[in-house]
Amino acid sequence: MNLADKITLCEVGPRDGLQNEARLFSAEEKVELINQMMEAGFKVIEVGSFVSPKAVPQMANTDEVFRALKPPADVELRALIANARGVDRAVECGCRKVKLNVSASKAHNLANLNRTPEESVAGFKECVDKAAANGIAVSGSISMAFGSPWDREIPIQDVKDIVNAYLNVGVTEISLSDASGMAYPSQVYNMCTEMMREFPQVEWWLHFHNTRGLGVANIVAGMEAGVRNFDTSFAGVGGCPFVPGAAGNVSTEDVVHMCDEMGVKTGIDLDKAMEISRRVAELVGHPTDSYLLRAGKSKDLIRELPKGQLKNQVKAK
């Protein structure tokens, strides 16, 4: 297997996880969780989004959270934005990295914005220029790159056209997102292999939802293709409000556990990550999509049996 020695995980739970919860988390609760994440070894964390509080009330306190955080120099805290006003808010609260997003679905984008995805990205130039003038880094995301409820599978050329549009406005860090939960491993491998070959200047990220149980398999397929950056969410919380039956994001602890078992370094303390996820599950007050919170680590099953017990178990069978 073409496994890396090390990968980078971005914890997106504070944004993509909590924005789908009915419970509104206070700024103090978010700051506590994010500080614990940094202590657990996360180097990239998606803190929230600078969008309308009326549209997404769960993210209304993102500015307050950024002001309260004091990250080490080697930790990147980022936020999602929708327009130039998002850059202004980032400047005002000290956020140093913002992310733009567009849907790969032409039908979805035209219905919502009356623009093609490429036209939407071209309109991001104002955001990129304003961010650069204020020393803020910008990344881009392509949601539903692997399929959508409106188009089913997205032609890879459509995704390439969006990548070129991002490059034209100066964005060279791009995430391929499976918000619809429709991706499958061979598709992920083939698309990522082709994208990395055609756009070697791009720093690639992958973002999977576990809607149909393929999230972790898709991460392995991405690793096989050479991608080394992935988004995950504590306790597997999250989902997509536009997709029927959508489950949460791939669980952070499930991915860290898999990597630990395979010898792939993440720099994240699994026990600490699980403590954070247990706290999140307690706060949201409902079961979450985390296998590890249900079953525990594989290594926890290995224990010394009392003398003679194994022999007795064999006889019983």
Which tokens in the block code for residue 242? 């536009």
Catalytic (active site) residue 240: yes
Q: Choose the catalytic residue: 10, 95, 127, 240.
A: 240
Note whether 257 and 219 are within 8 A (CB): no
Q: Are 118 and 86 in contact (CB under 8 A)?
A: no
User: CA 135, CA 271: separation in Å to the nearest integer?
Assistant: 36
Q: Give the DSSP letter string of the chain.
A: ----SB-EEEE-IIIIIGGG-SSPPPHHHHHHHHHHHHHHT-SEEEEEEES-TTT-GGGTTHHHHHHH----TT-EEEEEESSHHHHHHHHHHT--EEEEEEES-HHHHHHHHSS-HHHHHHTTHHHHHHHHHTT-EEEEEEETTT-BTTTBSPPHHHHHHHHHHHHHTT--EEEEEETTS---HHHHHHHHHHHHHH-TT-EEEEEEB-TTS-HHHHHHHHHHHT--EEEEBGGG----TTSTT---BPBHHHHHHHHHHHT-B----HHHHHHHHHHHHHHHTS--S-HHHHH--GGGG--PPPTTHHHHHHHH-
Catalytic residue ranges: 240
